[in-house]
Amino acid sequence: MPTQGRDNVHGKGGMRFKAPFTKSKYDNQLRNLVSTLITEEKVVVTGQMAQGLVTLADRLITYAKKGDLHNRRLAASVVRQYIADEANGVLALNKLFSELGPRYATRKGGYTRRLKMAPRLGDNAKRVLVEFVK
């Protein structure tokens, strides 16, 4: 007896949902977004990506607050080598540890905020503005 499942996915009986991307692509999207958030200090994303982005950004700020070599290497494994300041040639990782870490040294969490925006025109997806709290 053939397995029950989706008709257009052959050999995948019992499969209910096919994700549009894999976990590795999702992780790479988060790495790109958090690097952009560090360089520009705000970014517009969809609703689902905002959750993962805020979690990762708060973790990186915590690493930057501690500031030792181990935490710098942990952050370097996530943050891309984007140029944050073109005039001085400062990378995103250096901006994280030199500007953002000291800015939130006395704050005990909640380094980012999420603001809902109007839905995207093309596919009506929820959009969220993620930015660092001043």
Q: Is residue 6 part of a domain?
A: no
Instruction: Report the candidate in 64, 33, 62, 27 with the shortest Cα–Cα distance to residue 50.
Output: 33
Note down the domain range covering 111.
Answer: 23-132
Instruction: Report the candidate in 34, 36, 23 with the shortest Cα–Cα distance to residue 56.
Output: 34
Residue type, 50: A
Residue 18 has pLDDT above 70, yes or no: no
Cβ pair 91, 82 in contact under 8 A = yes
If one counts the domains in the chain, the total is: 1
Q: Is residue 97 part of a domain?
A: yes
Q: What CATH number is attached to the domain comprising 87?
A: 3.90.1030.10
Report pLDDT digits (tens) over 82-98: 998 888 999 999 999 99
Q: Is residue 61 part of a domain?
A: yes
DSSP for residue 13: B
Whole-model pTM: value is 0.83
Instruction: Report the candidate in 100, 119, 114 with the shortest Cα–Cα distance to residue 49.
Output: 114
How far apart CA 66 and CA 96 sit, in angstroms, is: 12
Q: Is residue 3 part of a domain?
A: no
42 phi, psi to nearest 5 deg: -160, 150
Residue 115 has pLDDT above 60, yes or no: yes
What pairs with residue 116 in β-bridges? Answer: 128
Report pLDDT digits (tens) over 24-74: 999 999 999 999 999 999 999 999 899 999 999 999 999 999 999 999 999
The string of DSSP codes covering 66-112 is: H-SHHHHHHHHTTS---EEETTTTEEHHHHIIIIIHHHTTT--S--E
